[in-house]
Chain A
């Protein structure tokens, strides 16, 4: 029996639903030492901004129970160098790429997207909306339905590929923000970004990150991610969702698909299990085969909610 794992992400066709979470896989080159990149649906690259960014001073990471905190400050070589080196390399390998773009203003996002127009192998744009908006007192775009809609509409107008908005779970009403993104033209949603956390060293009294707070990721946040995907899928069932947040096993991926995800992204698991993404992609096929599932459409969003 053949299992068809292919999925459509707002018009972009992926051979299978397993992709990588932005900032957890570079642009694939380092990870190709451990993973056959062709086993994945696509590589979602680390966020780029119009100009190169140095990022923040270390310490940038700290381990916490079943997860970790990070604050990198969007260190990246700038969108042009990314296109010339990273995207070109992925295209040479024949691996589909999703570029993650960030910025501090609507114009920054548009500038990135314009610089990426026509790039070979680029199948979609992911909007990292957890960047501080300097036009809105430094608040993240993803905290406000209005700002999310504004930047999404500008991105949709500028892009020649599907646009996915990556949203933050740190909001009161995620569905309202997801609806604003979709209303402004988003082709899909990526759920979720890290959730803001903090850790303090009880011996030195110092915050473990140089910025004080940072993004919490890993299995610790998986129930939050599953809840977010489920809530948004219930409200916007026709919109493809890339589900992410603590996925480390095939069972985790299935859980996310049952909540309503069309694709799943592997993030922090790549750090401690470098082959995780490929193992999950291959394991998903085995899972489907063993359960007689011929397409993931059969189980997407099929969580049984009562008892």
Chain B
């Protein structure tokens, strides 16, 4: 589906540890959204911060006609968004980008999520499980309050390994620590990852060392989110040459092995 520009209504705003989850009325987006796609949301309308902010879609409830986003209210835009409540209106563009490539036949896959990046993977987990797949997950964060977990993930994943930097939840360590063991045990077809860039880079490296292809949903500064400003590019190797591909239209999901990390 072509993306749409909509002024819509927030259904609810919930706190998840350090994060906020907004559920938004957007029936046509909920019906067509794919895991890995994003919404570009206007923050502080009428203010001096003009650019929209991109947010991965964390859920798409087709029967309720709603979509959700999860974010860390740290910047001006996300703090404004975090202060919205049910009933407030919101101006958004979406769904944007091409999401994760998911094969239709069921199989075993591994999800690796860092911080609120795990939210986008819960949408993917539900999709993979609905196709009869077996999904395993490693989720991590700096500490317990920054760990994102939801019932979708808990219900759809055959196993979830939890890692925190400070050991306040799960095991102490990085999400990449249990990866080799889990890859050996479950033989996943693909490692799907979403989280901060250093984590994605490390995850892609471990997947490659263990001969598993990876798909990474990246987070880059985007002025437009719709393919025309060329600010959000990522260096990617294609047919032996380096290209700058747009995260918004040619991503935000890229094959881990193709990215030419700086």
Contacts and interface: CB of A to CB of B under 8 A. Distances in A.
B223 A68 contact: yes
A218 B234 CA distance: 24
A251 to B, nearest CB: 15
Given A26-B228, A54-B242, A271 B51 contact: yes
A57 B262 contact: yes
Interface string A278-289: 000000000000
A67 B222 CA distance: 13
A63 B230 CA distance: 14
A65 B48 contact: yes
A25 B48 CA distance: 22
B64 interface: no
A217 to B, nearest CB: 9
Secondary structure type dominating chain A contacts: loop
Interface in A260-284: 268, 270-272, 274-275
A292 interface: no
A275 B226 CA distance: 12
| Range of interface residues on A (Cβ < 8 Å) | 20 to 34
Contacts of A46: 228, 230
B20 interface: no
Interface in B1-43: 2-3, 5, 42
A286 to B, nearest CB: 20
Interface residues of B, number: 30
A30 B50 contact: no
A70 B226 contact: no
A24 interface: yes
Nearest to B53: A63
A63 B5 contact: no
B231 A75 contact: no
B244 interface: yes
A68 B5 CA distance: 22
B81 interface: no
Interface in A195-246: 218-219
Contacts of B235: 57-58
Interface of B: 2-3, 5, 42, 48-52, 93, 220-224, 226-235, 242-244, 249, 262
7 interchain residue pairs of minimum CB distance: A61-B231, A30-B227, A271-B224, A26-B228, A60-B231, A65-B48, A33-B2
Given A58-B221, A72-B231, 6 more contacts: A59-B221, A61-B229, A66-B48, A66-B50, A271-B226, A272-B50
